[in-house]
Structure 1
Amino acid sequence: MRVLCCRIKQARRRPAIMTGLFMQNGVGSLKAALGLAMLIGAGLLLSGCDDSASGVARPGSLRPVKIAIAQSAAGLRTRTFPGVTEAARKSTLTFRVGGLVQRLPVKAGQKIRKGELIAGLDEIPYRNVVRDREAKYQLARARHDRQVVLFGKKLIAKSSLDEAEAALKEARAALDNARLDLKHTSLRAPYDGLIARVHLDNYQNVAANAPVVTMQGADKIDIVFSVPEQLLLRARRGQAAKTPFKIRFDTDTERVFIARYRKHDSIPDTATRSYRVVLEMPNPEDLLILPGMSVTVEADLSALEKDSGAPGVLVPVEAVFEQDGKTYVWRVDDGDVSHKATVIAAGIEGRHIRLTGGLEAGQRVIAAGVSQITENMRVRPLTKERGL
């Protein structure tokens, strides 16, 4: 067939010579000319046989495929999360006793030191109670002393002495409670902090255990953000406490602060299936940070994940397939020829699979229709036409 094709091509290159020869030989030669023309037409149909033999395929014969580039996962080891600030220490302070508020020297937003007065009640009713309890205690002690003397002289029974001792203890306890109530008419700061909210006004009657002020710690602040469950599953146990997190406030994006892991919830959010993580950082002295401010949390996942020693590459999920218990992808070389490559899958990240072996960043893989591909198949990248 190849010889025939070559002869037909030689005949096509000399049409004038062949026509002159047949004209000289007459009608019989004309029939031969028609037969040769048919052979030439057949040769035109078979002209591609020589091209295929030379290894050059026509563009229409190449299989169109969707091609993806393997991306290095190392650049994705750093993730950012939106977060908000919360008070690291927050307390709603109340009076243990009720009464009329006569002193309220604080206001919302005011810094306060440990032990400073926040609010005070009218002390007169409680001082009167203390005097009453002191008088009753003195009386009970005097009776007890007399009973001791009489019992020493064997003039009373032991039960009378026991009653006197019980009455003395009861009077003592009542006096201690009265003095304690008097002390609780003053509400003082339990630690250094900030008055976040004042819940009442001066000269207002307040009941016991009613909110007076909400106080927040001033030395530290919490950063709260949510982490997807896939990321939390890949985290190494105990590593979060050793990993620093970078914090940027939306009000000052140029500065970077360092926060440390504090705790995380063990129950996910029912709507987002994410877990609440709390970081802790010192409160900057030169920057006013209040609860509810927006921040950006930057986490280095290479220090958190279990398999951080081999970040690998990312390819689309559709590019990976299993066969005979092994995992493969179709790699496309520079000549647009497919080759089956054995890979090691380390996990799913969104719409991609992270591979830690068998493929390098920048290499091309077939990202769709992998079941229709065979070894050493000539392919061409599938491109979308404009308007589609």
Structure 2
Amino acid sequence: MKTDSSENPMNDAPKTTSSPPAAIRSTIALLRFMLPVVVLVIAVLGAMYLLQSRPAATRTETEARATLVETIFASPADQTAEITAYGTVEPHRELLLQPQVGGQVVRINEGLRSGGRVPAGEMLFMIDPRDYRIAMIQREADVAKAAVALQLEEARGDVAQREWELLRDSIKASDQNEGLALRGPQKIEKEAALAAARGRLEKAELDLERTTISAPFNGIVLADDIEIGQVVSPQTRAATIAGTDRFDVMVSVPLDKLEWIRADPADPEGNSTARIIQELGNGRTVVRTGRVDRIVGEVERSGRLAKVRVLVEDPLGLEPSTDEARPALPLLLGSYVRVEIDGPSFTDAVELPRSVIRDNGNIWIFDRDGRLQIRSSTILAGRPDTVLVESFLLPGEEIVSSPLPSALPGMMLERIGSTGRPGSNAEVNDAEVDRGDA
């Protein structure tokens, strides 16, 4: 059966059922392509807008800033170099007292105790003198008897002389012996006996004198070893005393500094002077003035050091003095002291702290324009905390005493606490202060 197409409306419609979906797909594809472009364009336009709408940046130039430093003034002057050495105070004279006669000690000076002081000539202790006094009396009697015997012999000689003159002509020549006839040998014997008796008397007197032991010089007692009632002999160690008029200090000096020291035995007053300083603690010191006595002809084995002996007059301060500034404290034996010996003198030298001497002996200068100058220095001599250098400053210049992190010649500087000076008028903030003090 044949079907009529007019009766089927579906068959009469145009065949366009696939067109709408294709258009949609094209539109979507176009949007997918354009959307990133639009977003990119919008982003670019937004960025351009932001760049054009931001405030205009103000360009400032970094100003030069000065580094804060501390400075010191230094003026040239005539200076004397010192040689600093160390040593121990020793007695100039030290004596071990031993009696020259034996016996029992009956008296002792109150000053004969360790640490006591005794003046020259004062009795230190006494040995019982009675036995020695008796011996002296006996020797005096012996002298008297010998003198009488000599007188008798001289009288016999006078008699023999007269007899010889009377009988000389009657005596044979072979029998003549004038010396024997006049008793010459007998007289010589009596004279010798008298001389011996007198010698024994002198010895007895000397022994009696030696029962009293006196101080040979002004001294301080270092040790005492006797007591009243003790029996002593010439081998007994009675006491040890040291002279108080002078003390010695033996110091060691580098060999290259010996030429600075004057030590002429023929002219001791012209020898180098020295200051002897004893530290007591708490900032207290004892200072005495001394003089070089001599250079000992010996070098220490431990190094290239020469021994120099310094003489200190009146180390205990016992001599009367009108100097009110003179210290009352004594210089003690055995003390370890610092000795400053005067060396050569320099004209127009500058004394500086050791801390301002930089590497290679350079010194930082704060010049008149407020800039850093670096100069080399010539060190003339050293002191414990300072050095002497040749004068090198120009008028208006100062020395930088504080450290710098990087020292460059010509860099701008300003003193701490300064209100400014030529060449250093830049602002200084806290950061600059920290940098300058680094």
What TM-score bracket applies, with the shorter chain setting the length?
A: 0.5 to 0.7
Task: After TM superposition, list the pairs within 5 Å mapping 1:64-143 onto structure 2.
Answer: 77-105=81-109, 106-143=112-149
Corresponding residue to 1:263 among 274, 277, 293: 293
Q: Which amino acid aligns with 1:140?
A: A
Q: Which amino acid aligns with 1:277?
A: R
CA–CA distance in 1 between the matches of 2:136 and 2:207?
9
TM-score normalized by structure 1? 0.56
Alignment partner, residue 309 of structure 2: 277
What are the superposed Cα offsets for residues 172-197 of structure 1, whole Å, 9 maximum, x if unpaired?
Answer: 01111111111101101223332221
Unaligned runs of 5+ in 1: 1-71, 321-328, 364-388
Say yes or no: does 1:227 pair with 2:231.
no
Taking a change above 3 Å as real, the CA distance of residues 96 and 122 of structure 1, as seen in their structure-2 partners, is: same
CA contact (8 A) 1:312 1:355 kept: yes
CA contact (8 A) 2:292 2:308 kept: no
Taking a change above 3 Å as real, the CA distance of residues 251 and 115 of structure 1, as seen in their structure-2 partners, is: farther
Q: Which amino acid aligns with 1:294?
A: Y
CA contact (8 A) 1:195 1:214 kept: yes
Taking a change above 3 Å as real, the CA distance of residues 224 and 252 of structure 1, as seen in their structure-2 partners, is: farther
CA–CA distance in 1 between the matches of 2:332 and 2:392?
50
Alignment partner, residue 338 of structure 2: 296
Q: Secondary structure at the match of 2:299?
A: coil
Unaligned runs of 5+ in 2: 1-75, 162-180, 319-327, 400-438
CA RMSD, Structure 1 to Structure 2 (Å): 4.8
CA contact (8 A) 1:229 1:275 kept: no
Taking a change above 3 Å as real, the CA distance of residues 246 and 295 of structure 1, as seen in their structure-2 partners, is: closer
TM-score normalized by structure 2? 0.51
CA–CA distance in 2 between the matches of 1:263 and 1:119?
34
Q: Secondary structure at the match of 2:151?
A: helix
Q: 1:237, CA displacement in angstroms?
A: 5.5
Taking a change above 3 Å as real, the CA distance of residues 244 and 296 of structure 1, as seen in their structure-2 partners, is: closer
Q: 1:209, CA displacement in angstroms?
A: 5.0
Taking a change above 3 Å as real, the CA distance of residues 309 and 240 of structure 1, as seen in their structure-2 partners, is: farther
Give aligned pairs, total. 283
Corresponding residue to 2:154 among 145, 148, 164: 148
Taking a change above 3 Å as real, the CA distance of residues 140 and 271 of structure 1, as seen in their structure-2 partners, is: same
Q: 1:248, CA displacement in angstroms?
A: 3.8
Taking a change above 3 Å as real, the CA distance of residues 294 and 205 of structure 1, as seen in their structure-2 partners, is: same
CA–CA distance in 1 between the matches of 2:249 and 2:381?
29
Q: 1:295, CA displacement in angstroms?
A: 2.4
Q: 1:198, CA displacement in angstroms?
A: 0.6
Taking a change above 3 Å as real, the CA distance of residues 85 and 103 of structure 1, as seen in their structure-2 partners, is: same
Question: Quick check: 157-166 or 76-85, which moved more?
Answer: 76-85
CA–CA distance in 2 between the matches of 1:80 and 1:242?
13
CA contact (8 A) 2:286 2:329 kept: no
Q: Secondary structure at the match of 2:88?
A: strand
CA contact (8 A) 2:99 2:236 kept: yes
Q: Which amino acid aligns with 1:291?
A: L
Task: After TM superposition, list the pairs within 5 Å mapping 1:168-183 onto structure 2.
Answer: 168-183=194-209
Q: 1:230, CA displacement in angstroms?
A: 1.8
CA–CA distance in 2 between the matches of 1:217 and 1:190?
9
Taking a change above 3 Å as real, the CA distance of residues 252 and 280 of structure 1, as seen in their structure-2 partners, is: farther
Q: Secondary structure at the match of 2:216?
A: coil
Task: After TM superposition, list the pairs within 5 Å mapping 1:1-388 onto structure 2.
Answer: 77-105=81-109, 106-153=112-159, 154=161, 156-236=182-262, 238=264, 241-245=271-275, 247-251=277-281, 253-255=283-285, 257-266=287-296, 267-272=298-303, 273-282=305-314, 283-285=316-318, 286-299=328-341, 301=342, 304-305=343-344, 308-309=346-347
What are the superposed Cα offsets for residues 2-37 of structure 1, whole Å, 9 maximum, x if unpaired?
Answer: xxxxxxxxxxxxxxxxxxxxxxxxxxxxxxxxxxxx
Q: 1:309, CA displacement in angstroms?
A: 5.0
What are the superposed Cα offsets for residues 117-141 of structure 1, whole Å, 9 maximum, x if unpaired?
Answer: 2112122332232122122211111
CA–CA distance in 2 between the matches of 1:348 and 1:255?
22
What are the superposed Cα offsets for residues 215-266 of structure 1, whole Å, 9 maximum, x if unpaired?
Answer: 1233443334322222113435659725342524435744553412141342
CA contact (8 A) 2:263 2:292 kept: no
Question: Quick check: 152-161 or 170-179, which moved more?
Answer: 152-161
CA contact (8 A) 1:241 1:262 kept: yes
Taking a change above 3 Å as real, the CA distance of residues 291 and 192 of structure 1, as seen in their structure-2 partners, is: same
CA–CA distance in 2 between the matches of 1:252 and 1:241?
33
Q: 1:211, CA displacement in angstroms?
A: 2.7
Taking a change above 3 Å as real, the CA distance of residues 358 and 112 of structure 1, as seen in their structure-2 partners, is: closer
CA contact (8 A) 2:221 2:239 kept: yes
Q: 1:87, CA displacement in angstroms?
A: 2.6
CA–CA distance in 1 between the matches of 2:381 and 2:83?
17
Q: Secondary structure at the match of 1:208?
A: coil
Bigger Cα Rg: 2
